[in-house]
Amino acid sequence: MSVVVPSMVRTRRRKSSSAERADFQRADFPRERRSSSATRDPFAPIDKYYDEEHIQERLLGSKKQRVVTSYTRQAPVSTPDFGTGFYPRRRGSHDEYTQADQELLINVEKTISDLLDREDNDRNHQITIEDNGPKHISLGTLASAGYRSTDLRGNYVISNLLQELTLAKDLGKKVVKIHRSRLNENPVDRLSRRIRDEFWKNLERCLDADLIEKAGRDPKDWTADPRPRIYVPHGCPEQYEYYTQVAKERPQMRLDVRWLPEGSITPEFVRDLNDAPGILALAMRKEIVNGKEILKGEPFTVPGGRFNEFYGWDSYMESIGLLEHGRVSMAKSMAINFAFCIQHYGKILNANRSYYLCRSQPPFLTDMALKIYEHIKHESDGLSFLKYITQAAIKEYYSVWMAEPRFDTDSGLSRYRPDGLGVPPETEASHFVHVIEPYAQKLGKSFDEYVDGYNAGTIHEPELDEYFLHDRAVRESGHDTSYRLEGCAANLATVDLNSLLYKYETDIARIIRTYFRDHLKITREFQTEANRINGFETSAVWDRRARMRKARMDKLMWNEKVGMYFDYDTVKKAKTNYESATTFWAMWAGAASPRQAAAMVLKALPKFEEFGGLVSGTEKSRGEISISRPNRQWDYPFGWAPQQILAWGGLIRYGYTEEAHRLAYKWLYMVIKAFVDFNGVVVEKYNVTRELDPHKVEAEYGNQGSDFKGVPREGFGWVNASFVYGLSILPISMKRALGTITPWRTFHEKTAVKLDNFDELTIQEVAEDVAEEIGFQNEHGRRASVL
């Protein structure tokens, strides 16, 4: 009996159109027995990954009769009933193991339009778990030149597709290939990659010709003619000449270049600049380009959202993430910019805008300098960098924090208490309607008339002066706003500020003693009345200052009964009773004794720990919320990245590693869960008590970073940093669990060591086995040494 092999049977029937197309594909696009991921990295940065020329070469080869878009397969038009028609019903699981190495060929514009049409039910240009679309799309594969299609399912994959196509559209791409693994990427890896490759880059600014138009733009400029404007310190004539030349060469920018006066800057002068707000110049360096010397701005990162300038403590927090990602030069440039601000503006500014000239921010410069130095100490200029930044920090310490009005002589502690006049111009005056309106009505004036008169100094109202004194202090503290500080901020010697100054004192002592042989010479530009006569600093003075500050904090701020530090009211001469997460800053700074740290972990930590990490303050301290007493964003139930970062560092410093890991896991889980469910969102702050949608914050300023179209491009600076730093301190098992979006409760239950079922005999047997094993190892070691 003969056997006919089907593959060898020859027929002469006419080929179908599909068969003809298959022959065309085999002739022009030979398939290889290897995955495309073997030749091209599916997780490359977007500017390298989306390469249209590569697609054209693969699809068209030498034949150019067709365009690439003719190969893209578009999904069918959606029907009103998502459960019927072209789309399969949504289902809970989908096995894509056999499709792991697929690459998709996608028409960017058409696919974005189709995705938004059927998936984005609330029309906010995002695809989230709150949208009730089919969460399914069919797209052509690259291997078949768009002939065959494959399915993509699930909210995470579909929203990632929208994000990737939006990024490709930003680059001007019409047709792209996307590897399926890029859409199914482990969410922890995806967010880490986007922070490293995209977010940091998009947050970068520089005050030179290339970026000054972008950096000079101020979303908080409420004047009738907002335009780029830069103020140059009197001691920087080269910069003034540089920006003047830029303005001449690019008149369409309308750059306004102005001098700042020589000498001290008064509150009256700052107030009078409010009609012409502008950005303040930062450090520049000289470079040789094509044999010509030019000025180049030292770059910096901005927080994100509407905050488009160089901020104080935001930049420190961002530097932690930048250093983890190896972006040392950026962190170094920001420290140099801080030193420039201290030299020319007298302080590290709230931010480098003209209306912030009287206002500082929480001081972190010494710790920032030490962290950067650890990365550059092998470089030739490493020690000179450390010296330069330390001198700047010493000047800031003397002239800002140990000088009136911020220094309180009675307590020996420091306060946030900036100078200033009028209504804070970076906030719309309407924000203060409820405060100002009664005073305007009393004088028979409209709200706008009263604000103009009050800002100009023609209307005097001591009660309003007191209100805005405290309001400016709240903003200088960085904790704007909170019922902890409302109406009293300028009078409080806060735990956070004095912990940071204790850290300054101990850091400076260590730097002088360790790196400068206990004798640090202070150059003229950083000298103050405190060191101008001697011209140098030694460590003993700074050690003594640190001991004195700790003693004062222990006496005036520490509450032994509740195991917590509280702010001290320098006017009422008493501790406050507001329970704030800033108590853990004393641990981060090393100001707490081991006994005090243990008390905080035992008594205070349970009061602040919530589903998503640490809450800023307790619900009891915040009090009742009503229409007349709304939420404040630095109170319960909100959590912020700086509070998490400093608490983790403090816990680790005192040996409470498990607690630090638990808190870091909770915060990172909350961030990554929102990232997965809500179209890649990364925002300024979170509601740490809210499991489903923690990024939805109901407070006076909303939430920066949540308002985007298609894809977030920046995240938010210090949350980016908290995610990167948090991952760096977690063990690998926790990182893997985060990648599978495992809640802390589940992870803890599955990994906890349980001894409930062990009796004493079983434990004794285990102990004997361990002892026997140790004895065997010792005997084996002795034999090995004899041999």
Question: Could you tell me the pLDDT band of residue 137, with boundaries at 50, 70 and 90?
Answer: very high
Average pLDDT over residues 139-165: 94
Task: Show the tokens assigned to 364.
Answer: 């972190």
In b/e form, how buried is each residue of 715-746, taking b as 16+ CB within 10 angstroms? bbbbbbbbbbbbbeebeeebbebbeebbbbee
Share of the chain above pLDDT 90, in %: 77
Residue 94 has pLDDT above 70, yes or no: no
Q: Is the peptide bond before 743 cis (omega within 30 degrees of 0)?
A: no
Strands 568-569 and 574-575 turn out to be antiparallel
Query: Would the pLDDT of 31 be above 70?
Result: no
Annotated active-site residue in 480, 610, 659, 714: 480
Kindly tell me if the per-residue pLDDT of 742 is higher than 50.
yes
pLDDT band at 786 (very low <50, low <70, confident <90, very high): very low
Sign of CA dihedral 623, 627, 628, 630: positive
pLDDT at 508 over 50: yes
- Cα separation, 475 vs 455, in Å, equals 18
Of 208, 212, 206, 294, give the one whose Cα is nearest residue 253. Answer: 212
**Is the pLDDT assigned to residue 151 strictly greater than 90?**
yes
Handedness of CA 142, 146, 147, 150 (dihedral sign): positive
- Is residue 109 part of the annotated active site? The answer reads no
pLDDT at 146: 84
**What pLDDT score does 80 carry?**
44
Cα–Cα distances in Å, from 327 out to 195, 317, 739? 12, 14, 25
Contact 710, 163 (CB under 8 A): yes
Residue-level pLDDT at 431: 84
Catalytic residue among 198, 367, 505, 684: 684
Q: What is the pLDDT of residue 14?
A: 45
Confirm if 200 and 719 have CB atoms less than 8 A apart. no
Residue 346 has pLDDT above 50, yes or no: yes
Instruction: Look up 714 and say whether it is catalytic.
Output: no
Give the model's confidence band at 55: pLDDT under 50 very low, under 70 low, under 90 confident, else very high: confident
Helix boundaries (H) for 75-225: 108-119, 155-170, 180-183, 187-194, 200-202, 212-216
Alpha-carbon gap, residue 72 to 112, rounded angstroms: 13
Output the pLDDT for position 264.
86
DSSP structure class, residue 302: -
- By C-alpha distance, which of 756, 738, 758 is closest to 747? 738
What pLDDT was estimated at residue 7?
40
- Pairing state of beta strands 229-232 and 256-259? parallel
**Residue with more model confidence, 756 or 590:** 590
The mean of the pLDDT values for the chain is 89
Q: What is the pLDDT of residue 20?
A: 46
Per-residue pLDDT band for 60 (boundaries 50, 70, 90) equals low
- What is the mean predicted confidence (pLDDT) over 438-453? 95
Please say whether the beta carbons of 666 and 638 come within 8 A. no
What is the tens place of the pLDDT at every residue in 709-741? 999 999 999 999 999 999 999 999 999 999 999
Q: What's the pLDDT score for residue 383?
A: 98
Q: What is the pLDDT of residues 666-710, one digit of tens each?
A: 999 999 999 999 999 999 999 999 999 999 998 888 899 999 999
- Structure confidence by residue, pLDDT tens digits, 3-29: 443 443 334 444 444 444 444 444 444
Q: Helix, strand, or coil here: 184?
A: coil
The reported pLDDT for the residue numbered 145 is 85
